[in-house]
Amino acid sequence: MDRVALRGLKARGHHGVFPREREEGQTFIVDLVLGLDTRPAAADDDLAKTVHYGIVAEEVVGVVEGEPVDLIETLAERIARTCLKHDGVQEVEVVVHKPDAPITVPFDDVTVTITRSRV
């Protein structure tokens, strides 16, 4: 299976279990790896035979900016479902970064990584 990756998609969302996270919001960063067969698109040089990653990026940002959830696990699941709606996408790896998570000790990042497929 071939891979198309989008890294560092940034959007502001209001996800989290604490009232301050819901009220103020914060930046979330999303990395995606889409699994698909790119041979038909490459053979015909035809965008319609692959995934339009610009559209996927816009849809993922819409999910992050959309309805708040408590957990980034839930957010990652919603993003994966959005990606799998595209016909050619057979599998997706989603990494949701929450670099401003409300943690009381020094840290660089918090991430949740999930892999989902049509199977």
Of 10, 49, 85, 98, which is the active-site residue?
98
Is 49 an annotated catalytic residue? no
Q: Which residues contact 86 (CB under 8 A, 6 or more apart)?
A: 34, 51, 52, 55, 56
> Distances from the Cα of 78 to the Cαs of 68, 75, 115, in angstroms?
11, 5, 12
Give the residue numbers annotated as catalytic, written as ranges: 98
